[in-house]
Amino acid sequence: AKEAGKNNYQFYTRGMNATAVNYLLLENDLRRAIEQDQLSMYYQPQIDLQTGSLMGVEALVRWQHPERGLIGPINFISLAEETGLIVPLGEWVLRAACQQQKTWLQAGKYVGKVAVNLSARQFRQQRFAERIADILTETELPAKYLELEITESSAMEHAGETINMLNLLNQMGLSLAIDDFGTGYSSLAYLKRFPIQKLKIDRSFISDIYTDQNDASIARSIIGLAHNMMLNVVAEGVEDTNQAEWLRRQGCDQAQGFLYAQPMPAGRLESFFKGGTFS
Ligand code: C2E
Ligand code: CA
Ligand code: CA
Ligand code: CA
């Protein structure tokens, strides 16, 4: 079947732009994937740097493609954004994450908040807050167990609108985090008006934190900024103990990264459930 698939792609490619055709095929595939439940969620723990306990999990989407195998989100999220498929895909993700969180809670397994990534195109929808409310009702999940992540760059573009949407979501009792912090152009005047609880330091600043003075300064500044604003700060992409130790000494609250765990299917999270600490 794999060979036949390959030949198919070659056939359609003849005389046409290969990328364009590939894109078209993928768009149809992705549409089908959403309808036929070929998507699945992986979860990555967020660990308290002082105590080692589990504070939350980030939900990350995967696509189990019938011919191409497991595909990561960097290969299809931008396609979904450009085609508008991000709206149904995003709803699928929200529903799946809320359902999973409800299942954990019913089983007495507390993972902290489950954090879901949002694309700009999703939260700029007219009735986005209502859609979230519907999904929470449908899955019978109290809002306090759900966190939403939006990237710094998408939050800062149309910052005025962002504030209005974040206020609505905040009033519903959801937690809000700014993702990839440090990579966009933040206006501090806007940042202080965002009703958020968390900043996530982008992993590009973390990898060389122990050796690169500039990265270290930036990370230290973000930690200070977050704490001055009474926000929690999470370091992304923590891969070794030097990085974790440095962050802990600087007072960073939480860490997420391969040092602790790769993103994994819900069933494999068992050893991380709250109560058990991690070191
Ligand atoms: P992100 O939100 O910054 O998510 C963190 C990414 O870093 C994940 O990649 C995760 O697997 C990876 N990661 C975690 N720890 C480490 C580490 O220690 N080292 C390294 N090198 N990488 C680490 P993933 O799952 O491939 O997701 C990539 C991006 O795709 C996400 O970046 C997010 O922007 C987007 N994404 C994922 N799921 C969704 C979704 O459901 N909706 C939307 N809109 N975007 C999503
Ligand atoms: Ca994220
Ligand atoms: Ca991130
Ligand atoms: Ca990112």
- Give the residue whose CA is nearest to atom 35 of ligand 1: 73
Question: Using 50, 70 and 90 to split pLDDT, how confident is the model at 155?
Answer: very high
Are the beta carbons of 254 and 48 closer than 8 angstroms? yes
Which residue from 140, 115, 129 is spatially nearest to 56, judged by alpha carbons?
115
Q: Whose CA is nearest to atom 37 of ligand 1?
A: 60
Of 127, 126, 186, give the one whose Cα is nearest residue 151. 186
> What spacing in Å lies between the alpha carbon of 199 and ligand 3's midpoint?
10
> Which H or E run includes 100?
helix 86-106
Name the closest ligand to CA 60.
1
- In the numeric block, the tokens 């732009």 are attached to 17
What is the predicted ipTM?
Answer: 0.97
Question: 131 Cβ partners below 8 Å, 6+ apart?
Answer: 91, 125
What's the token pair of residue 58? 């980030």
112: left (phi over 0), alpha (psi -120 to 50) or beta: left
Nearest CA to ligand 1 atom 4: 60
pLDDT band at 3 (very low <50, low <70, confident <90, very high): very low
Q: How far is the CA of 18 from the centre of ligand 3 (A)?
A: 31
Residue 247's contacts (CB-CB under 8 Å, 6 or more residues apart) are: 49, 206, 209, 219, 235, 238, 255
Question: Cα(53) to centroid of ligand 4, in Å?
Answer: 24
- Average pLDDT score over residue span 3-32: 64
In tens, the pLDDT along 98-152 reads: 999 999 999 999 999 999 999 999 999 989 999 999 999 999 999 999 999 999 9
Residue 240, helix vs strand vs coil:
coil
The model's pLDDT over 79-88, given as tens digits with 9 standing for 90+, comes to: 999 999 999 9
The reported pTM is 0.92
DSSP assigned state of 72: -
Q: What is the pLDDT of residues 174-211, one digit of tens each?
A: 999 999 999 988 889 999 999 999 999 999 999 999 89
The Å distance, Cα 180 to ligand 4 centre, comes to 6
Residues with CB under 6 A from ligand 1: 44, 60-61, 72-74, 77, 93, 117-119, 179-180, 203, 236-239, 256-258, 263
